[in-house]
Amino acid sequence: MTVVEETTTLKKGFVGQSIPRKEDKRLVQGLGTFFDDVRRHGMGYVHFVRSPYAHAKIVSIDVSKALELDGVYGTITGDEVAIQTDPFFEMSVEPGGNIKDYALAVGRVRHMGEPVAAVCAATRELARDAADLIEVEYDPLAVLVDAEDSLRDEVVLHDDAGSNVVWSGVFDWGDVDTALAEADHVVKIERLHFHRFSSTPLECAGALVEYDKGTGEWTLHCNHQMPGVGAIWMAPALRVGIDKLRFVTQDIGGGFGNKICLHPQYVVLCLMARKLGRPVQWTEWRTDQHTANAHGNERTFLDVEVGVMADGTMTGFKVRALDDCGAFPRYEPLGCIIWAQVTPGMYGWRNIRVDFTQVCTNKSPVSPNRGYSRMQHLWLTERIVDIVAAELGFDPVELRKKNYVKVEQMPYETPNGCVYDSGDYAAALDIALDLVDYGSIDERRKDAEARGKLLGFGIGSTLDSGTNNFGQSTLLNPELQFSGNNEAASVKLDIFGEVVVTLGTVPQGQGHETTAAQVVADIIGCSPEQVNVRRGHDTWFNSHAGFSGTYASQFAFTGLGAVKGAAELLRAEMVQLAAAVLQAPEEAIELADGMARVKDGPEEAALPFMALGAIVNANNAFLPPDFNPTLNHRYVCRPYFGMVDTEKKTGQLTLTYATQIHAAVVEVDPETGEVEIVDYAAVDDCGVRINPQIVEGQVHGATAHAIGAALSEHFVYDEEGTLLTSNFYDYHVPHAMDMPPLKTGAMESPSPVAPLGAKGMGEGGGGGIHCLCAAIQDALSSAGKPLVTTSCNPPHRVWAMLQDPEATRRVEVMSK
């Protein structure tokens, strides 16, 4: 059920329609090509030998028995990697910038599951058998699984860095000390903790890598979702030019950010392909994905202080944030600053200080995960609002509306120079409230009570910031030579009039083939069926730019912006060519229904696209010498940001902000702590929706991810650094019967800065986590007012809150 409030009337053709997807035809027949479906003659299968210890010295590795096994093609160990490659480039400044990160563990392992050696054999089973024969001797070291412990540097993970601190910095805008001093109330919250989980895409990571000895080039048939960055990491490590790495992606079974840091294993595959002289293939096991691929940021918020006026205006807050990036930072230092895209959350406070530190621990490396770093920060702001409301007796709905950035203020510049492009948060909230029949909450609460249940209502407001300015990385490290953003696309009209589009992006289910076709069809005047969008990303398409990939909620802006740009160039040429051939002025030419024709002209004054394509490609002698149409255009969409001020830590860090407001009604069973979601609504505003069905589908998916994270998904470690939730039994994700009845609503506040008025979307900002934490806290408010201070609340946690509410109430209110 969808309620749409249109706030604009933009001319829409295919854009704006929920046309069924082009991708589906092959996928519903099981004819998709995922990387594990690709075969090569003579290929070998790779299995990684991984560390059973969270922290240990590698004393020795003996591969001899493995090599004796019939059918084994070869092995590789960290020593070889250290000789043949250079460590991966590190983003952070010192001390984190000194970390040496190789494709395999060199001398030391720092998390359970860290790859130590790899073996390649004729079959999957033989590779697995051979791995058992590789003998590794370890000397265990003390294990760090807690970020606060790690900060003390008693056990240091990376000697080259000399400290477990990867990065630290203070962000200070406005004047929070004065704001707190002048506030009528100061609410102090001792500790909030955002937990580790990930999106666990159903298809695991992997690649089939071929090496061409003649050219020194590798081809990776893989599912890396950001090949631009993958190549930047891998090429220098392999000591080759970037053009020696060809990334080919076809169908990908979900990414959600978890397929961005695949470069270590891919480098191993490149080395093996070269060493063994045959194609090598690796498919990650589910256990390995959970244990050693990519967790989302785990962040602890300490000593939060919030200034609140008597009328409910929240004037500012300060916090110490401690981020746990696991054993290797990799992409993660960006997480230290990316949250700043949404510094104030949805709210108008102007005085904010964040003292941010990121440390290493002996856990799985962290990497972008749906909502990446903003989600953690937005959870903080939403927890603040609900705890302030609970402690000071404000209504959470009214407190939000009072403090939300108002629609009249859009575009709104935040305290750190980001610009919220558009949105009407209060209106979106009203839609959500309506969908869950907010007016009946009190009645439903009484009804639940009669059945022995505690009913709670909660809101989660969140932003999906999209189209990053990579200049934000200079806030992390002023020496980094990154800024801006880009994405490329090519559109051509072929010799038989076929329209062919190639993208730089790497879709993993977002329907890029379809939405790109919609945009092109509208611009050049044909139907989406006539637009052939090549599947996936291929370096050899030459349709990519440095930041190409699918991540950070930006396709609708940069990806489709590039498609639009290329299609417009093509259109202009088609019109020019048709005018020349039909001997009419350009203004009189229209493109529609696959034809170029003279408006209101005779029937013969028309050329099918095929004719245009044929003329340019095969029959072009009659064209005048100074007119050289190619009907083949590549366009790079370069969003404009301006520079980032690394001293004040301000600047436009991202361009678009999609809104999501989630509302949940839950019933808690006080005897078991079970939380049942009995009503749920998610309202999304991502500006112009190119394909509303595709947008809504991702809202559903993001909601499911958030519900899973809020109620059960948790990567939990014991003191030895063992991951206790490494399979889908213990790491429970929502199945069909776990999902609540889900209502969605939509608004369209077009983005004034995006090429199509469409904002990136898809990550969802963790809205479900925020609203379920709020709903649970509300449900338990009649049972001792425990505060929800962690982001994952499975039954045992809820029960603990009921048993000892005081233990959670590490909050202090100081009022004038």
| Nearest-angstrom CA–CA distance, 289 and 298 | 17
Binding of residue 17 to another protein (CB under 8 A): no
Is the distance from CB of 264 to CB of 100 less than 8 angstroms?
A: no
Site for another protein in 199-228 (CB under 8 A): 199-204
Binding of residue 534 to another protein (CB under 8 A): no
Site for another protein in 46-85 (CB under 8 A): none
Segment interacting with another protein (CB under 8 A) among 7-15, 248-256, 566-574, 777-785:
248-256
Tokens of residue 556, six digits: 């609708």
* CB nearer to another protein: pick between 274 and 705: 705
User: 51 - beta bridge partners?
Assistant: none
- x/- mask, another protein, residues 249-288, rule CB under 8 A, reads --xxxx-x--------------------------x-xxx-
Nearest distance, CB of residue 27 and another protein, angstroms: 3
Segment interacting with another protein (CB under 8 A) among 242-250, 272-280, 572-580, 793-801:
793-801
Closest CA to 632 of 537, 499, 496: 499
* CB nearer to another protein: pick between 581 and 799: 799
DSSP states along 152-201: T-SS-S-TTTSSSEEEEEEEEES-HHHHHHH-SEEEEEEEEEEPP-----
* CB nearer to another protein: pick between 36 and 298: 36
Chain centroid, CA 786 distance in Å: 32
Number of residues lying near another protein (CB under 8 A):
77
Candidates 75, 300, 315, 510; binder of another protein (CB under 8 A) is 510
Nearest distance, CB of residue 149 and another protein, angstroms: 20
Nearest distance, CB of residue 742 and another protein, angstroms: 6
| Crossing angle (nearest 10°) for helices 396-403 and 425-435 | 160
| Nearest-angstrom CA–CA distance, 241 and 247 | 14
Nearest distance, CB of residue 727 and another protein, angstroms: 5
- x/- mask, another protein, residues 591-630, rule CB under 8 A, reads ----------------------------------------
* CB nearer to another protein: pick between 37 and 190: 37
* CB nearer to another protein: pick between 4 and 592: 4
Kindly provide the b/e burial profile for residues 128-141, where b requires at least 16 CB atoms within 10 angstroms of the residue's own CB. ebbbebbebebeeb
**H or E element that contains 312:** none
Binding of residue 704 to another protein (CB under 8 A): yes
User: 634 - beta bridge partners?
Assistant: 490
Nearest distance, CB of residue 684 and another protein, angstroms: 13
User: Parallel, antiparallel, or unpaired for β 165-173 and 108-109?
Assistant: unpaired
Binding of residue 667 to another protein (CB under 8 A): no
Nearest distance, CB of residue 503 and another protein, angstroms: 16
Segment interacting with another protein (CB under 8 A) among 21-29, 54-62, 110-118, 224-232:
21-29
Binding of residue 701 to another protein (CB under 8 A): yes
Is the distance from CB of 806 to CB of 789 less than 8 angstroms?
A: no
Candidates 4, 8, 12, 25; binder of another protein (CB under 8 A) is 25
Candidates 674, 678, 784, 785; binder of another protein (CB under 8 A) is 674
* CB nearer to another protein: pick between 621 and 737: 737
* CB nearer to another protein: pick between 27 and 643: 27
Binding of residue 242 to another protein (CB under 8 A): no
Return the CA Rg of the chain.
27
525: left (phi over 0), alpha (psi -120 to 50) or beta: left
| Nearest-angstrom CA–CA distance, 505 and 538 | 9
Question: What dihedral angle (degrees, nearest 10) is formed by the CA atoms of 499, 504, 509, 511?
Answer: -30
Is the distance from CB of 707 to CB of 739 less than 8 angstroms?
A: yes
* CB nearer to another protein: pick between 191 and 700: 700
Nearest distance, CB of residue 773 and another protein, angstroms: 19
Nearest distance, CB of residue 65 and another protein, angstroms: 15
* CB nearer to another protein: pick between 387 and 683: 683
Chain position carrying tokens 């093509």: 570
Site for another protein in 713-742 (CB under 8 A): 714, 716, 724-725, 727-730, 732-739, 742
Tokens of residue 739, six digits: 């999902």
Site for another protein in 797-816 (CB under 8 A): 799-800
* CB nearer to another protein: pick between 22 and 634: 22
Nearest distance, CB of residue 620 and another protein, angstroms: 38
Segment interacting with another protein (CB under 8 A) among 173-181, 318-326, 631-639, 710-718:
710-718
Q: Is 310 exposed, middle or buried (0-12, 13-18, 19+ CB in 10 A)?
A: exposed
Closest CA to 331 of 224, 254, 251: 224
User: Parallel, antiparallel, or unpaired for β 487-493 and 412-413?
Assistant: unpaired
Binding of residue 4 to another protein (CB under 8 A): no
* CB nearer to another protein: pick between 87 and 795: 795
Closest CA to 399 of 411, 381, 414: 381
Closest CA to 359 of 207, 175, 163, 218: 163
Closest CA to 544 of 206, 246, 239, 254: 246
Binding of residue 382 to another protein (CB under 8 A): no
Binding of residue 344 to another protein (CB under 8 A): no
Chain position carrying tokens 């934490």: 773
DSSP states along 315-340: EEEEEEEEEE--S--TTGGGHHHHGG
Segment interacting with another protein (CB under 8 A) among 52-60, 72-80, 155-163, 691-699:
691-699
Is the distance from CB of 404 to CB of 368 less than 8 angstroms?
A: no
Site for another protein in 124-163 (CB under 8 A): 124-125, 128-129, 132
